Amino acid sequence: MSKKILQLNEEVIKGQLKELVRGSVEETLNELLEAEAEKLTQAARYERNEQRQGYRSGHYSRNLTTTSGDVTLKVPKLEGISFETAIIERYRRRESSVEEALIEMYLAGVSVRRVEDITEALWGSKVSPSTISELNKKAYVHIEDWRNRPLQGGQYPYVYVDGIYLRRNWGGEFENVAVWVAIAFNEDGYREFWVLSRA
């Protein structure tokens, strides 16, 4: 008697699980949008009551890139009142965790072309070089604000300063970059940390 051999195609299973998760995320987000619309109108779809504010006028589709893949949102249209969702910021096309991952990849020295390939593999859609550039401009504004913030600690009895040279990729060119770091303890014993310069 021959034994049946069970074979599992790991790629197919991963693909099916990924689609299951993506579909669940899409369904959940759409249900949350519907719940928000019900709360704003104070009525369920097709419900008539005296407390009702405005009425439904269909929906429009909008894509959102999440860590589970691209999802299609059905954003309710309301007449008589404006629909401002708290779930997704207006005009946002990517979940904030996706944007953070893109910024971290770029700051870690991953090339723009490689970031495109990684995003396609992870979320099923490529992110354009101009999008990555715009996200990084936002990141650098926050980094500069942090680097130039005023010192709040008063006097610092202990300050440790050190530096290290790192080989970094800046716009496709490799160069050695000095990173100076200061760690100080204020009079209350709390530690503070600064990046002094990169030259």
Amino acid, single-letter form, for residue 174 = F
Of residues 34 and 89, more confidence is placed in 34
Shortest CA distance to 131 belongs to which of 145, 116, 111, 117? 116
| Residue that finishes a domain, picked among 71, 93, 115 | 93
What is residue 199's predicted lDDT score, i.e. its pLDDT?
A: 45
Residue 93 has pLDDT above 70, yes or no: no
Burial 72-96 (b: 16+ CB within 10 A, else e): ebebbebeeeebebeebeeeebbbe
122 in Cβ contact with 70 (< 8 Å): no
Q: pLDDT tens digits, residue range 104-146?
A: 787 777 777 788 888 777 777 777 778 777 777 777 787 777 7
The answer to whether position 2 is within a domain reads no
What is residue 4's predicted lDDT score, i.e. its pLDDT?
A: 61
Q: Over range 24-50, report the average pLDDT.
A: 83
What is residue 43's predicted lDDT score, i.e. its pLDDT?
A: 78
Q: How many domains does the chain have?
A: 3
| Residue that finishes a domain, picked among 149, 164, 184 | 149
Percent of the chain with pLDDT over 70: 85
**Which ranges in the chain belong to alpha helices (H)?**
10-41, 96-107, 112-123, 129-147
Residue 58 has pLDDT above 80, yes or no: yes
The answer to whether position 3 is within a domain reads no
Shortest CA distance to 25 belongs to which of 118, 87, 89? 87
32 with 19, same domain?
A: yes
What is residue 44's predicted lDDT score, i.e. its pLDDT?
A: 77
Least confident of 14-28, 119-133, 179-193: 119-133
What is residue 114's predicted lDDT score, i.e. its pLDDT?
A: 82
| For helices 129-147 and 112-123, angle between their N-to-C axes, nearest 10 degrees | 110
48 in Cβ contact with 54 (< 8 Å): no
Cα–Cα distance for residue pair 53/62, rounded to 1 Å: 24
Q: Over range 183-197, report the average pLDDT.
A: 76
| 3-class DSSP state of 101 | helix
Q: Range of 37's domain?
A: 8-93
What is residue 91's predicted lDDT score, i.e. its pLDDT?
A: 54
Cα separation values, 53 from 36, 38, 57, 83, Å: 13, 10, 13, 12
89 with 124, same domain?
A: no
114 with 52, same domain?
A: no
Residue 198 has pLDDT above 60, yes or no: no
Q: Across the chain, what does the average pLDDT equal?
A: 77
Q: Over range 76-103, report the average pLDDT.
A: 75
27 with 41, same domain?
A: yes
177 with 189, same domain?
A: yes
What is residue 197's predicted lDDT score, i.e. its pLDDT?
A: 55
